[in-house]
Amino acid sequence: MAGKAVCKQKPRWSLRSDSHPQAKYLMNCLDLISRALRRIGVLAAGTAPSDIEANDALDVLSAIYLRLITEGVFGTLRDVVPTGDYTAGENERVIRSNGMVGVISLPDTINDCGRDRAPLDGSLVIISDSYTDETEAWLYDGAVKSWVLLTELTLTDTAPMSNRDPLGLVCTLATELADEYGQQASDIIRMNAARFHMGIAHNWSNPSTVVRGDYF
C-alpha cells in the first residue's frame, strides 16, 4: 500500500507527510552532540557548542548512520529500478535512473500473504537518484511507527534511533569525537558505545541472499 511520496520528477525528498508525523525522540541532533562533547570534557555542564563545533559533530553523526548502513546492520538490500510510479518494499535500494520516473513512495503497510501489516522494525529504504545525483536513506522505526530520515540531518532534527538507547548513542558519538579533540574516551564510554552497536546489530540485522535488480 502506498504511503509517503518522497521522490517526484524533480525531487526534493526531505518532504514530510501528515501520514508520517516526525517521531518524538528524546533528543534532537544538537542535544545529542552537546551531551557527547560533555562526556569527553570538551564542554562544561550547561554550555552549548559553537556553530562550528556543532556542525563538525553533525557531520560525524551523519557518518555514523551511513557506516551502520554500509556494515549491513539493517540487512542487505535488493536493487529495484522502476520505470514509473513505485512504492518501495522493505530493504530495497530504489534506483531512479532517469527523469521520466514518477513518484517513489514509502509504504504505510506491507501486504504479507494477503494480510496488511506495518513495515518490519528496522527496514531500510534507500532512494538513489542517478538523474539528480541525490540519495536518501529511510529507516522504519517500529517503536514510533514512522519512517525516519537518516540522511540530510540538521541540528534541529530529531536524532534517529535515540529513543532506542540514548546513552549508547551519545557514547558512540563521543567515542568518535574524542580523537578529533585529542581526548581519551573512558572505558565506560567505549563500553556503552559497544553495547549500542551490538544491540542495534542483534535486533535489526537480517542477512539474506543478494539478488539481481528487478525492473518494474
7 against 47, higher pLDDT: 47
**b/e burial code for range 124-157 (CB count within 10 A of at least 16 → b):** bbbbbbebeebbbbbbbbeeeebbbbbbebebeb
Residue 214 in domain: no
Q: Are 33 and 173 in contact (CB under 8 A)?
A: yes
> Which among 8-12, 29-33, 70-74 has the top mean pLDDT?
29-33
Residue 7 in domain: yes
- The cell for 103 is 513518484
Under the banding of pLDDT at 50, 70 and 90, the label for residue 13 is very low
The pLDDT mean for the chain works out to 83
> How many domains in the chain?
1
Tens-digit pLDDT profile for residues 166-201: 999 999 999 999 999 999 999 999 999 999 999 888
The stretch 21-41 carries a mean pLDDT of 82
Q: Which long-range contacts (CB under 8 A, 24 or more apart) does 132-135 make?
A: 132/10, 132/11, 134/11, 134/13
Residue 87 in domain: yes
Residue 215 in domain: no
Q: What is the pTM of this model?
A: 0.79
pLDDT of 22 > 50? The answer is no
Which domain range does residue 19 map to?
Answer: 2-205
Residue 212 in domain: no
